[in-house]
Structure 1
Amino acid sequence: MSEWNPLKEINNFSKDVNSLLEKSPFSMFYGQGTPRVDIYQTEDDVILKAELPGVAKDDLDVFVDDEFIKLSGETRKSSEINDEHIYKTERYFGTFSRTIPLPVEVKSEEARAEYRDGILSITVPKSEAAKRKGRKINID
């Protein structure tokens, strides 16, 4: 029997809610302004990649905790666009914020971030406790 992991339960619940909202009739309003992310892990690191097209690096804030990453910032509307001349607008402008639970505990003080071509990449080393979970056993 595996040990109960509340972070894993929260992450699974979050996935279920996101899936439900994406399939709902209101999906066109869901997620506006929140960056889409991919999270994966290697043996030593947890890696998050977020889509942030049109967001300037100076308009981004990243906060890394041992159990989550919080992304916030602002997508600014171009000053050359005059509202009275708009024919159609679908892009989101304004502030956004998203807190993403991590699959394992990490060393937040060693986090690194890089922003290139509208993709924010954050790499955070796993804590020693997270690396040691589980072990191979011999079969008698």
Structure 2
Amino acid sequence: MADLPARRGGSMLGAPRGWDPFERMQELLGFDLGRMLGPQGTREGGFVPDFEVKETQDAFIFKADVPGVEEKDLEITLAENRLTISGKREEERRDEGDRYYAYERNYGSFSRTFTLPRGVNADNVQADFKSGVLNVRIPKKSEEQPKRIKVGGSERSEKAKA
């Protein structure tokens, strides 16, 4: 039986204390795993609104929290089966003489694209913007909505016996 390597520096496999395997992997592969797992369209230090996407029986509903964004700075496009919502939040003017104790708000442009399933009614899309929340409703085509089929086998079998 082979001997296992001795633990040195308080970590397994002889790695020095404080060594982070994820940090090393990111260094070797040349990318930041944390940024890859973030929301689509993020930029470091940029503005990325939160979205809620849901499907109802007759529509797809998209809601985005976009406080501080002007309606004129929003753009919504639907091409083929791809919905793109873009916009920007302008940075407020800062005076040189002002002293900031915290400056944590994000500004900049954003763009999010969502791929929709087939069967949406692109001619009847509705969008409204109220209190910093954007709502986009994309109805489904009526032929794509599920149809309930009534089972009538018991009545037919009774009539067939008579």
Equivalence for 2:68: 54
Alignment of 1:58-97 (within 5 A): 58-79=72-93, 81-82=94-95, 85=98, 86-97=100-111
Deviations along 1:78-100, one digit per CA (max 9) or x if unpaired, are: 12x23663443221111111102
Provide the secondary structure at the position in 2 that maps to 1:58: helix
Q: Who wins on radius of gyration, i.e. which is larger?
A: 2
Query: Does the aligned pair in 2 maintain the 1:71–1:97 contact within 8 Å?
Result: yes
Q: Quote the Cα distance in structure 2 between the aligned partners of 1:114 and 1:52.
A: 12
Q: How many residues align?
A: 115
Provide the secondary structure at the position in 1 that maps to 2:119: coil
Provide the secondary structure at the position in 2 that maps to 1:50: strand
Query: Does the aligned pair in 2 maintain the 1:39–1:49 contact within 8 Å?
Result: yes
Does residue 21 (structure 1) correspond to residue 37 (structure 2)? The answer is yes
Provide the secondary structure at the position in 2 that maps to 1:34: coil
Aligned CA-pair RMSD: 3.3
Gaps of 5+ in 2: 1-32, 154-162
Provide the secondary structure at the position in 2 that maps to 1:55: coil
Q: Quote the Cα distance in structure 2 between the aligned partners of 1:87 and 1:100.
A: 38
Summarize the Cα distance change of 1:136–1:83 in structure 2 as closer, same or farther, 3 Å threshold.
Answer: farther
Gaps of 5+ in 1: 1-16
Aligned-pair CA distance for 1:122: 0.5
Summarize the Cα distance change of 1:28–1:97 in structure 2 as closer, same or farther, 3 Å threshold.
Answer: closer
Q: Quote the Cα distance in structure 2 between the aligned partners of 1:99 and 1:69.
A: 6
Deviations along 1:87-122, one digit per CA (max 9) or x if unpaired, are: 432211111111022355311121010001111001
Q: With structure 2 as the length reference, what TM-score do the two structures score?
A: 0.58
Identity score, percent:
27
Provide the secondary structure at the position in 1 that maps to 2:67: coil
Q: 1:116 is aligned with what amino acid?
A: K
Equivalence for 2:123: 109
Query: Does the aligned pair in 2 maintain the 1:37–1:51 contact within 8 Å?
Result: yes
Q: 1:34 is aligned with what amino acid?
A: V
Equivalence for 1:45: 59
More relative contact order, 1 or 2 (CA 8 Å, 6+ apart)? 1
Among residues 38, 50, 68, which one is paired with 1:36 in the alignment? 50
Aligned-pair CA distance for 1:136: 5.8
Deviations along 1:44-101, one digit per CA (max 9) or x if unpaired, are: 111111111110111100112352311111100112x236634432211111111022
